Amino acid sequence: MDKPIIAISIGDLNGVAPEIALRAHSQIREFCTPLYFTNYEMIEQAAQLLNIPIPSDFDIEYIGGSFTIRPGKVSRESGEYSFRSFQKGVEFTSAGITHALVTLPISKEAWQRAGIPYRGHTDYLRHRFGREIIMVLGVPQLWIALYTDHIPLRKVPKKIRTGRLTEFLTRLYPLFGSERISVLGLNPHAGDGGVLGDEEKKISKAIKRANKGIGKKVFRGPLVPDSAFAPHIREREHHYVALYHDQGLIPLKTLYFHEAINVSLGLPIIRSSPDHGTAFDIAYKKGFSINTTSYINAVNYAVRRALL
C-alpha cells in the first residue's frame, strides 16, 4: 500500500473540527490521502468564518444538506449533519473504499436534539457491527482501556460482576498488545480490605480467572486508584484497565491532554479519533490557538494500523 486513504468524518461544524481539519491537512497529507465527508458549501462557510484558505487538494466525499454554522452553539442541524458524515465514513471504511476512519469531535447533545438514538460514535459502532467494542485512550507511554465508558457513575458498581469482568479482560488481552496490564480498584484504597467496599473481591476473582484462562499472569491488581499513576509506577506500567470513564481519563488528560487519542478495539474496521471534544467555548474565536496534535496522532495511528 502506498498512502492509505483515510476517511475523515467532519464532526460538529459549530465546534473546532473544521479548523482542525483545515490547519492539519498539509501535515497529514504527507503520509496519507485524507477524504473528508462533508460538502464544499459547508467547508467554504467554515473557512470564511475562520479566514483560512481551503487547500487545493482537500478531497471531499459529498454529504448532502446545508445549514448556517453557529459558532460554539449546540444545534439540531449540526448534530444531524455530523452523524450523516460519520455514518457514511463508516460505510466507506467497511466496504474497503477507505482504509481507516478518523472521527472528528461531535456533540452528544446535538445528536440527541437531532433525534439520533445513539450516545456517540462508540454506541453507534456497537450497534452497527453487533460487537462489544472496547474504548481505549492514550499515548504510547500510557494506554487505558475502559471497562465501562459513557454510563452514569451510579450504574458502575452494578456492572462490577466477576463473570462480566473476566470476559472483558479475556477479550482485551489479544487486542491490547501488552503482556502486563494493571487493573484498577473501584473504591478508595481499593476497598481497604472490605472496609470501603467489597467490589474488589469480584475484581480479584476476575483477574485470577482471566489469567488462568490465558495461561499466564498478564493482569495484576486491583491497584489502589489514587496511587496507580504515580511516576515510579508508570515507569513500569503502561497499560491499565479503568473501571469507569473519569477514573482513567482524569490522569490521562492531566498528563497528556494534547497528545492522547481514542481508539476502538474489537471492530472489523480501524477507527481512531482525537481525545477531546468540540471545544465550543473557543470555536471560531480569534486569539485562541487550536492544538491539532491529538488529531494528527489519531491519523498517524490509523495509518500505522492500515499498513500492518
Domains defined for the chain, CATH in brackets = 1-133+266-308 (3.40.718.10), 137-259 (3.40.718.10)
Instruction: Indicate if the pLDDT at residue 211 is higher than 90.
Output: yes
Instruction: List, for residues 220-242, the tens digit of each pLDDT value.
Output: 999 999 999 999 999 999 999 99
Q: Is the peptide bond before 222 cis (omega within 30 degrees of 0)?
A: yes
Q: What is the mean pLDDT of residues 285-301?
A: 95
Measured in degrees and rounded to the nearest 5, phi and psi for residue 45 equal -60, -45
Share of the chain above pLDDT 90, in %: 96
The pLDDT of residue 1: 60
The pLDDT of residue 4: 98
Instruction: Indicate if the pLDDT at residue 215 is higher than 80.
Output: yes
Place of cell 496507580: 228
Instruction: List, for residues 45-70, the tens digit of each pLDDT value.
Output: 999 999 999 999 999 999 999 999 99
Within the chain, what is the greatest distance between any pair of CA atoms? 64
Q: What is the mean pLDDT of residues 252-281?
A: 97
**Alpha-carbon span 143 to 239, nearest angstrom:** 5
**Residue 244: burial class (beta carbons within 10 Å; 0-12, 13-18, 19+):** buried
